[in-house]
Amino acid sequence: MFFLSKLAFKNLFRSKSRTIVSMVAIAFAVMIVVFAKGLIEGMIDSVSADHIHYNSGHIKVIDEDYYKRERLLTLHYPVDGFDGQGLEEMITALESVEGVEMVIPRLKFGAMVSTEEELVAMNGWGVNPEQELAFTDLEEFLVEGRMVAPGKQEVVMGTALLKKIDCRVGDKVTILFNTAFDSLRGITFKIVGRMESGLKILNEIVFYLPLDEAQRLLYLDDQATELLLVTSDRKLVPEVLPKVKALLAKQGEERYLVLSYRETSDLIPLMDLSAAIYNFIYIFLVLLSCVVVVNTMIMIVKERTKEIGMMAALGLERKDLLQLFITEGAIMGVLGSLGGAVAGHLINSYLAGVGFDYGESLSGISSEVIFNTMIYPVSSIRNSIFAFALGVIIVTLACLIPARRAADLEPTEAMREG
Amino acid sequence: MIVKKRLVVSVVSLIVVFIIATLTFSALTAEEIIKRRDDNEHYETVRAEAEMVILNRNRKIAKTMTTYGQGDNGLVIFSNPRDRGAKFLKRGDDLWMFFPEAEDLVKISGHMLNQGMMGSDFSYQDMMESDKLTDLYQFKLIGEAEIEDRPCYVLEGTAREGKKVSYYRRKSWVDKERFVGLKEELYARSGRLLKVMYVTKVEKFEGRWYPMVSVMEDKLRKDTRTEFIIKSIEFNPKLPAGTFTLENLK
What is the chain B residue with the closest CA to A218? B82
Nearest to A93 by CA among A247, A317, A269: A247
Please check whether residue B153 lies inside any domain of the structure: yes
Show the CA angle centred on residue B218, arms to residues B216 and B219, nearest 5°: 130
Angle, in degrees to the nearest 10, between helices A381-398 and A400-407: 30
Q: A150 and A211 in contact (C-beta within 8 Å)?
A: yes
Angle, in degrees to the nearest 10, between helices A318-354 and A16-51: 40
Which residues constitute the domain of residue B142? 31-249
Please check whether residue B16 lies inside any domain of the structure: no
- Which residues of chain A neighbour B120 with C-beta distances below 8 Å? 182
Q: A386 and A278 in contact (C-beta within 8 Å)?
A: no
**Which strand (E) or helix (H) includes residue B35?**
helix B30-41
CB atoms within 10 A of CB B234: 14
Burial call B122-140: b when 16+ CB within 10 Å, e when fewer: bbbbbbbbbeebbebbebe
CA of A268: how far to CAs of A44, A52, A230, A277, A367, in Å?
Answer: 7, 11, 18, 14, 17
- Which residues of chain B neighbour A182 with C-beta distances below 8 Å? 54, 56, 61, 118-120
E strand segments, chain B: 45-56, 59-70, 73-78, 87-91, 94-98, 106-109, 137-147, 150-159, 169-175, 181-187, 193-205, 208-218, 224-235
CA of B182: how far to CAs of A52, A182, B69, B202, in Å?
Answer: 54, 28, 22, 9
Burial of A72 (0-12, 13-18, 19+ CB in 10 A): exposed
Question: With the CA atoms of A206, A210, A211 and A215 taken in that order, what torsion angle do they form, in degrees rounded to the nearest 10?
Answer: -100
Cα separation, A73 vs A107, in Å, equals: 9
Higher pLDDT, B82 or B12: B82
Write the CB contacts of B190 (distance below 8 Å, at least 6 apart in sequence).
none
CA of B141: how far to CAs of A25, A153, B171, B172, B179, in Å?
Answer: 83, 57, 10, 10, 14
Burial call A316-325: b when 16+ CB within 10 Å, e when fewer: beeebbbbbb
A363, pLDDT greater than 80: no
Mutate which: B56, B89, B101, vs A, most A CBs within 10 A: B101
pLDDT digits (tens, 9 = 90+) for B170-221: 999 999 999 999 999 999 999 999 999 999 999 988 788 999 999 999 998 8
Contact B61/A181, CB-based, under 8 Å?
Answer: yes
Cα separation, A83 vs A80, in Å, equals: 8
Percent of chain A with pLDDT over 90: 50
pLDDT digits (tens, 9 = 90+) for A5-43: 888 888 888 878 888 888 898 999 999 999 999 998 898
Nearest to B233 by CA among B208, B216, B200, B198: B208
Show the CA angle centred on residue A180, arms to residues B225 and B126, nearest 5°: 35
Cα separation, A398 vs A326, in Å, equals: 9
Q: What is the amino acid identity at position A231?
A: T
Biggest distance spanned by C-alpha atoms of chain A: 99
- Which residues of chain A neighbour B104 with C-beta distances below 8 Å? 174, 188
Higher pLDDT, A245 or A369: A245
Contact A186/B106, CB-based, under 8 Å?
Answer: yes
Percent of chain B with pLDDT over 90: 48
Question: CB-CB: which of A76, A119, A186 is closest to B59?
Answer: A76
Cα separation, A153 vs A396, in Å, equals: 68
Please check whether residue B19 lies inside any domain of the structure: no
Task: Count residue pairs from A and B with Cβ separation < 8 A.
Answer: 56
pLDDT, average across residues B218-229? 91
Q: What is the pLDDT of residue A367?
A: 67
Q: Average the pLDDT over each of A141-150, A311-320, B23-32, B132-141 and give the range with the smallest value.
A: B23-32
Domain boundaries defined on chain A: 2-50+268-416, 58-260
Mutate which: B63, B76, B80, B83, vs A, most A CBs within 10 A: B83
Angle, in degrees to the nearest 10, between helices A381-398 and A267-303: 40
- The model's confidence at residue B24, banded by pLDDT at 50, 70 and 90, is very low
Mutate which: A75, A153, A185, vs B, most B CBs within 10 A: A185
Q: What is the amino acid identity at position B12?
A: V
A115, pLDDT greater than 50: yes
Write the CB contacts of A246 (distance below 8 Å, at least 6 apart in sequence).
none
User: Does B119 lie at the interface with A, CB-CB under 8 angstroms?
Assistant: yes
- The model's confidence at residue B21, banded by pLDDT at 50, 70 and 90, is very low
Q: What is the pLDDT of residue B23?
A: 43
Please check whether residue B2 lies inside any domain of the structure: no
Number of folded domains that form chain B = 1
Question: CB-CB: which of A176, A182, A184 is closest to B61?
Answer: A182
CA of A271: how far to CAs of A42, A191, A199, A234, in Å?
Answer: 11, 37, 18, 16
User: Does B59 lie at the interface with A, CB-CB under 8 angstroms?
Assistant: yes
- Assembly ipTM: 0.75
pLDDT, average across residues A93-113? 95
Question: CB-CB: which of B104, B108, B118 is closest to A182?
Answer: B118
- Which residues of chain B neighbour A181 with C-beta distances below 8 Å? 61, 82, 119
